[in-house]
Amino acid sequence: MVDITHKSNTLRIATAQAIVKVSSQATIDAIQNDTVPKGNVFAMSKAAGLLGVKKTPELLPDCHPMPIEFTGVTYEIEDLTVLIKVTVKTIYKTGVEVEAMHGASIVALNMYDMLKPIDKGVEIQTIKLLQKKGGKSSFPVKNVAELVGGIIVCSDTISKGIGEDKSGKLIKEKLDGFGLQTKEVTIIPDDIEMIRSQVLDLKETCNLIVITGGTGISPRDNTPEAVLPLIDKRLIGVEETIRRYGQERTPFAMLSRSVVGTIGNRLIVCLPGSSKGVVESLDAILPHLFHGYTVLKGVRQS
């Protein structure tokens, strides 16, 4: 089963269809007049489809169990065919397209089972996904290649050559992976004036400045104090997203003082110093944070 623990919950919607074709108008009439010997075809097939959606992870080994928060089943009759549509919704980390397709197939199979005593020519046709929404594919971020990233590591020990910088390298790998141009990582001590000076220097050439370290509560954690006076607009929602995402993974995330905001038309993000905290924070906000740059430019994104 694929690891989805790094993903965030979003609204996921999928609609699938299946087609049942009968061989005579008499079968269609029996469905519409509720004279099929096994019972009401539409009602019983809908009930079967609802169960099919819920039981998808029990039958398909790579599908994740998830809360199914809506399932809708509709029918349309066109000549000798019944068009079945199944829509499934959830707020979760992965999509529901397989659940929708499974539900549609079960609706069709139940209709086949109910109709075969009166129509030996019943066929199931064209089970397919019609549309899906949710996840990263529904929120594309454009013009990322225009961004230039600057990375600052705030650490007294690493700046003295004690220990190895892992967090700065991880940030660079993440940003490079999204197609940004990134400058080499700058390592400085946990000093307020040095942090401010480095931020002001990078903002001349970088659209995005990412700082790691100094966001905790120890005596030498000074990054928020250094950065906040420089910020024009604080992005509280981004900060909340980082802490919420971290809190779902470790109780110590509540002690983080991550700061995010704008300096002119630049974005600045202050992250924890640990490599685990950096990766989790970036997973929480990327790539959607890049949309902020589009907004800062005054360009509407379709």
Tell me the catalytic residues.
113
Alpha carbon 192 to chain centroid, angstroms: 36
Judge whether 41 and 63 are in contact, CB under 8 Å.
Answer: no
Supply the angle between the helices 167-177 and 275-285 in degrees, to the nearest 10. Answer: 20
Please give the full DSSP string across 35-46, using - where no structure is assigned: --TT--HHHHHH
Query: Is beta strand 259-263 parallel, antiparallel or unpaired with respect to 233-234?
Result: antiparallel
Residue 212's φ and ψ, nearest 5 degrees, are -120, 135
Report the amino acid identity of residue 65: P
Q: Pick left, alpha or beta for residue 116 (phi over 0 → left; psi -120 to 50 → alpha; otherwise beta).
A: alpha
Judge whether 258 and 272 are in contact, CB under 8 Å.
Answer: yes
